[in-house]
Amino acid sequence: MSRLAPIVRREFTAYFNTPLAAVFLVMFLFLTGIFTFNVGQLYERGQADLRPFFDFNPWLFLFLVPAISMRLWAEERRIGTIELVTTLPISIRDLVVGKWLAAWAFACVALALTVPIWLTVEYLGEPDRGAILAGYVGSALMAGAFLAIGSALSAVTKNQVVAFVLCAVVCFLLLMAGYPVVLDFLGGWASPGVAEAVASVSLLTHFEPMERGVIDLRDVLFFAAVVAAFLWLNILLIEWKKAD
């Protein structure tokens, strides 16, 4: 952990050395407010919960989280510092995990800044705090999975826009795999086993129970497995690029 700390600190601080942090946080909070209060009709629903907030979180992450991950390795490759970074007396594993942890910490800061919405619901009624906390846990895990995917795909290209698009497309497919429309379509011609298999790899399928206030260890392990798999892929890609 002592080897990771300097990397995490350096990468996390780097977000606030550029306008990226301010732009991301302002956009995230603005869109969160719009979708929660206007589109999600928080007041009109007459229920003291954060269901509208959590309903839209995966789709906000779909466009905003790739903006964080796209620079993780694409920028290093573009300016040619990846060769220098990978020759430092630090393992590539530590670099990959450290960059991801810093990005995840930044995403969690963005989530933490939405606590005033929770306080608004507390003022309006008596919400189920356990369900809200579970929703936040699920949102943090979702962001972590998106960032791991984005980090791996960022290592594929020097172009940050390409890295953004690749991350958004892959994450969109992993979300839609559990969407009712897709499952209904599969149920019309494929066997139930196929539909269940597709649904089981969907991030949305494992997020929805947490959104309802249920933290199942299997769902937590699924997100952990996605993060571990894509970070491992990230390490392999950096090793491969290093060997070129």
5-38 pLDDT tens trace? 888 888 888 888 878 788 888 988 898 888 888 8
Using pLDDT thresholds of 50, 70 and 90, give the confidence band for residue 242: low
pLDDT tens profile 142-159 = 999 999 999 999 888 888
pTM for the whole thing? Answer: 0.88
Q: Is 115 exposed, middle or buried (0-12, 13-18, 19+ CB in 10 A)?
A: exposed
pLDDT at 120: 86
* Averaged confidence pLDDT in the chain: 83
Distance CA 94, CA 83 (A): 16
Distance CA 202, CA 7 (A): 31
More confident residue, 242 or 227: 227
pLDDT at 243: 54
pLDDT tens profile 191-219 = 666 667 777 788 888 898 998 888 999 99
Q: What is the CA radius of gyration of the chain?
A: 19
pLDDT at 76: 65
Task: State the average pLDDT over residues 151-180.
Answer: 85
pLDDT at 137: 95
Q: Is 184 exposed, middle or buried (0-12, 13-18, 19+ CB in 10 A)?
A: exposed
Joined tokens for residue 209: 């129970």
For the chain, give the number of residues. Answer: 244
User: Is the pLDDT reported for residue 111 higher than 90?
Assistant: yes
**Residue 189 CB neighbours (<10 A):** 8
User: Is the pLDDT reported for residue 1 higher than 60?
Assistant: no
Using pLDDT thresholds of 50, 70 and 90, give the confidence band for residue 112: very high
Cα dihedral 26, 101, 112, 37, rounded to 10, equals: 50
User: Is the pLDDT reported for residue 241 higher than 60?
Assistant: yes
pLDDT at 83: 59
pLDDT tens profile 121-145 = 888 878 888 889 999 999 999 999 9
The three-state secondary structure class of 86 is: coil
Task: State the average pLDDT over residues 79-87.
Answer: 61
Task: State the average pLDDT over residues 85-110.
Answer: 84
